[in-house]
Amino acid sequence: DGGITQSPKYLFRKEGQNVTLSCEQNLNHDAMYWYRQDPGQGLRLIYYSQIVNDFQKGDIAEGYSVSREKKESFPLTVTSAQKNPTAFYLCASSGGTGSSQPQHFGDGTRLSIL
Amino acid sequence: AQSVTQLDSQVPVFEEAPVELRCNYSSSVSVYLFWYVQYPNQGLQLLLKYLSGSTLVKGINGFEAEFNKSQTSFHLRKPSVHISDTAEYFCAVSDLRGGSNYKLTFGKGTLLTVNP
C-alpha cells in the first residue's frame, strides 16, 4: 500500500544534541511538508518542498533544517538551537500541482527532551 | 493572509446524537476547504473537501459539510455519532493565489468526545 512512513515513532533528545526525523513516501508525490503539533495549537508549518532540491521555510522554521535530495524522502533535523522541541511532528505529502490537492499524513514522531 | 477559526475546542455528545463542528475562515480570495480527523497518536486523515460545485459535500464515515460563502463557514455535521467518532477534527483552508500553492492553514482543532 502507498503511504508515508515516519520514523522513529518516539525520540528523545539530550541538551545540545541535533536529532533527525525520517519521512519517506511511496505515493510519487512532488510536494512534502513538515508540521509541528502542540496541544491546543493545531498544526504549524515548519518547512515545505515542492520539488527535489528545493524547499521553503514555513511559519516556524527557526531551529529546524531539512533536505530534499530524493523525491521520496524529506528528513527534518531538530537542531540544538530549537529551545522547545518537545512536540508531535507530522510529515505530509501532496500530489499534482495547485492548492486543491489534499495532503496525506504519516503517523508522526513524538519528540521529548531527556 | 488566510486564517481558520474553529469555534469550539471541545464538543461532548452522547452516542447516536447529532453533532455539528463549526469552522469559519478568512481569506480575500476564493478558497479550497478541508476537514481532517486525527485519532490519538496518529496522523491526520482526510474526511472531505470542498473544491467547487455543490456546497454540500459528503465525506467518509457518514460526515458531511456545507460551504457557505456569505458566512465564510464550512461546518461539519453528522446526524448520529458513534463512540468510534471520538477524535480531534481539524478544519483547513488553502487559497488560489499564486505563490501560496501547496500551503494549508489549519484551525486549532475540535476534540469530539462521544459518550455512551
Q: What is the DSSP string of B1-16?
A: --EEEES-SEEEEETT
The residue among B105 and B99 whose pLDDT is bigger is B105
Q: List CB contacts (< 8 A) between A45 and chain B.
A: 103-104
Q: List CB contacts (< 8 A) between B32 and chain A.
A: 99-100
From the list A18, A26, A21, the residue with the least C-alpha distance to A8 is: A21
B98: nearest CA partner in chain A: A98
The answer, for A67 touching chain B at a CB cutoff of 8 Å, is no
What type of residue sits at position B7? L
Work out the average pLDDT over B75-84.
Answer: 97
Provide the pLDDT confidence category of residue B30 given band limits of 50, 70 and 90.
Answer: confident
Look at residue B60 and give its three-state secondary structure.
helix
- Chain-centre distance of CA A65, in angstroms? 10
Work out the average pLDDT over B2-24.
Answer: 96
B81: burial class by Cβ within 10 Å (0-12, 13-18, 19+)?
Answer: buried
| A90, A35 Cβ separation under 8 angstroms | yes
B36: burial class by Cβ within 10 Å (0-12, 13-18, 19+)?
Answer: buried
List the single best residue of A6, A89, A100 to mutate versus B (max B Cβ within 10 A). A100
From the list A38, A39, A32, the residue with the least C-alpha distance to A101 is: A32
The answer, for B46 touching chain A at a CB cutoff of 8 Å, is yes
The answer, for B28 touching chain A at a CB cutoff of 8 Å, is no
B37 CB neighbour count, 10 Å cutoff: 21
What pLDDT, on the 0 to 100 scale, is given for residue A99?
66
Is pLDDT at B100 greater than 50 in this prediction?
A: no
- d(CA B24, CA B32) in angstroms, rounded, equals 13
* CA dist list (Å): B109 to A23, A70, A97, B94, B104: 24, 32, 26, 16, 14
The segments of chain A whose pLDDT lies below 70 read 1, 96-99
- Chain-centre distance of CA B43, in angstroms? 15
B85: burial class by Cβ within 10 Å (0-12, 13-18, 19+)?
Answer: buried
